[in-house]
A and B are shown apart, each in its own frame.
Chain A
Amino acid sequence: MSEHIMSSKFYYTIWIALLCLTVITAAVSFVDLGPLNTVVALVIATIKALLVVLFFMHVKYTSEKLTKIVIVSAIFWLFLLLALSMADYATRLLS
């Protein structure tokens, strides 16, 4: 939330970057990288999401700390759900 107005050129740059990353991630999936395929796909998705959040959603330019806290807590809680559920599934075979 800020009065900061970006130039439209800036938005186009982000847009091009997002499109490129989309093509890259689709192309890379055809290359056999072993388990790295998943990692690459998720890293690219995260970069794309970050671009959208930081620039399109203006989080980079907001002076509001609270927005960032909300985002971080949402991700943290999602991580809790995934991690603690997987804690069960990943260790079931051990016992």
Chain B
Amino acid sequence: MLSDSPIAVEQHGPELLHHFVDAEQQRDAASLGMWLFLATEVMFFGGMFCAYLIYRYWYYNEFAAGSRSLDIYLGTINTAVLICSSLTVALGVRAAQMGKRKLLVILLLLTIVFGFAFLGIKGVEWYDKYKEHHIPGNSFNVDDLVKDYPQIHIDPRHEQIYFSLYFAMTGLHALHMIIGVGIFIFLTYYAWKGRYTPKYYTPVEMGGLYWHFVDIVWIYLFPLLYLIDRKPLR
């Protein structure tokens, strides 16, 4: 990271940056900054939710059929995996608050493992979609869905919109997961080196907020993409 004034390092503890009056001001600033950043993330995903809402209103049949074609078991498991990771993050912040270094490292590592598990399962699902030719583009083909759900009137063109949204939303969510895992690897390294103390654990807490947010996005994506319409077909 970039150099700060050496004078500041002499005056305060190493984690207090020179331009803050005290540690509390610094922590409050970091917290507000993180929450504001999450607010921008809400709007970032909000653009896609807006597109989703409109097309679901227009093309409900195709959305229902597309939703049925997703693997609900993998989806549910993935939701559970993310919830577990949120737990380990919450416990990790607690460990940091109490200054339990080893526990913190273990919990952060567990979070990373859950993160990779989520991405792995997501990868399997994507690969299935690839095999089924459900990726929008020239090779897109939903004859299987038309055959599987004769009761639903499917226009293949509109089905592409559902899958476009599916890939855009889960893809950008996965990107956030990858960034999150990166942040957590970084946090683990410094936690292992003992940088975080009960007095200074802001990075752990901020990383945690980010991770929880990514979890919440998935909490909405799961019902919106997987659970549109699963009731028995007449």
- Do chains A and B make direct contact within the complex (CB under 8 angstroms)? yes
- A75 contacts B42, CB within 8 Å? yes
- B232 contacts A78, CB within 8 Å? no
What is the number of residues of chain B that contact chain A, defined by CB distance less than 8 Å?
Answer: 51
- A residues near B58, Cβ cutoff 8 Å: 89
Q: How far is the CA of A52 from the CA of B27 in the complex (A)?
A: 21
Q: How far is the CA of A8 from the CA of B226 in the complex (A)?
A: 32
- B residues near A1, Cβ cutoff 8 Å: 27-28, 31, 205
Q: Mark B17-31, 1 if CB is under 8 A from A, else 0.
A: 000000000011001
**B164 interface residue (CB < 8 Å to A):** no
- B residues near A44, Cβ cutoff 8 Å: 223
Q: How far is the CA of A7 from the CA of B89 in the complex (A)?
A: 14
**B83 interface residue (CB < 8 Å to A):** yes
Q: Known contacts being A1-B205, A22-B80, A52-B212, is A70 close to B39, with CB within 8 Å?
A: yes
Q: Known contacts being A15-B84, A25-B227, A74-B43, is A85 close to B222, with CB within 8 Å?
A: no
| Chain B, Cβ-Cβ closest to A66 | B32
- A residues near B36, Cβ cutoff 8 Å: 70
Q: Helix, strand, loop or mixed for chain A's interface?
A: helix
Interface positions of B from 189 to 233, Cβ below 8 Å from A? 205, 208-209, 212, 215-216, 219-220, 222-224, 226-232
**B1 interface residue (CB < 8 Å to A):** no
Interface positions of B from 4 to 47, Cβ below 8 Å from A? 27-28, 31-32, 35-36, 38-39, 42-43, 46-47
- A12 contacts B223, CB within 8 Å? no
- B35 contacts A67, CB within 8 Å? yes
- A26 contacts B227, CB within 8 Å? yes
- B residues near A53, Cβ cutoff 8 Å: 212, 216
- A78 contacts B227, CB within 8 Å? no
- B42 contacts A37, CB within 8 Å? no
Minimum Cβ distance to chain B for residue A90 (Å) = 8
**B61 interface residue (CB < 8 Å to A):** no
**A31 interface residue (CB < 8 Å to B):** yes
- B216 contacts A70, CB within 8 Å? no
Q: Known contacts being A81-B43, A89-B57, is A29 close to B230, with CB within 8 Å?
A: yes
- A residues near B215, Cβ cutoff 8 Å: 52
- B50 contacts A82, CB within 8 Å? yes
Interface positions of A from 37 to 95, Cβ below 8 Å from B? 37-38, 41-42, 44-45, 48-49, 52-53, 55-57, 64, 66-67, 70-71, 73-75, 77-78, 81-82, 85-86, 89-90
- B227 contacts A29, CB within 8 Å? yes
Q: List 23 A-B contacts (CB under 8 A).
A: A8-B94, A11-B94, A22-B80, A23-B76, A25-B227, A26-B72, A29-B72, A29-B223, A29-B226, A32-B232, A37-B227, A37-B231, A41-B224, A45-B220, A45-B223, A52-B212, A56-B90, A70-B35, A73-B39, A74-B39, A74-B42, A82-B46, A89-B57
Q: Which residues of B contact A (CB under 8 A)?
A: 27-28, 31-32, 35-36, 38-39, 42-43, 46-47, 49-50, 53-54, 57-58, 72, 75-76, 79-80, 83-84, 86-87, 89-91, 94, 97-98, 205, 208-209, 212, 215-216, 219-220, 222-224, 226-232
